[in-house]
Amino acid sequence: MFRAAQLLRGTKRLVGPKTASPTCLIVSDFSTTSNLQRLAGKVAVITGAASGIGKATAEEFIKNGAKVILADIQDDLGHSVAASLGPDATYTHCDVTDESQLAAAVDLAVSRHGHLDILHSNAGIAGGLPQDDVTRLDLADFDRVMAVNARPAMAAIKHAARVMAPRGTGCVVCTASSAGVVPVPALATYSVSKSAVIAVVRAMAEPMARRGLRVNAVSPGATRTPMLLRELPRIAAVSQGMSAELTRLVDEDVDSDSVAVMLEPEDIARAAVYLASDDARYVNGHNMVVDAGYSVHKGAEKN
């Protein structure tokens, strides 16, 4: 990782030129003005962009000045979302289990906009149930979850680097999960797949840095997405390992002294904006956990 940091320091400076005033430097580099477009001029591909975190990220990317290719298998929904986002959004069909389709989404971004700066590998599935009964574990389903959740992270890095390396700039952001940090027994297969995503990001950080590129992960906690709202009742019904607290979060407000928080997709999207922006130019191989500290405090005794 030290070698990766050296390589990134050797790349060109990504922020504006220095000025004579330290105050100006602070304003230029760290301003949080609401109308600041942190991704101005950048081109992004987002997989799983028709709903949930992917859709919210597309909205935030465009709000911050990017042009976005929305890649998904939900064609009607994807076209509708792209139309609602305006001329800076384009939808394309992409099944991430097929490497050629992911490569085609990357090539579409380059052919339409001339280059690619960001690839957000976000598509994912929860998998079949139960996952916490080892004697009934469906290994075919395990393979399917890994094919959708884990393998595309490596494919995304491969094809992003293919078109970004000649320019020596660009980044990949992979959606992992806090379940990949602290496994959720009710979602054992899903937890394994997201742990693999984090491992891919860490392993590929140095090879990406050799080309002036970056790769990072964002790990959401429980987030109010269509997938979670659909899957949580099923998990709770069949798995004794499902946390009653997380189930309650779907329908109820959280007490101020509770560690668990139900996040919104926009919370994760804003983290992705940071990782994709030049503000994170020296952030590489990092897993940004966005779960209000739940994974840190999980299992701690209550006072």
Active site residues: 177, 190, 194
Tokens encoding 171: 């980044």
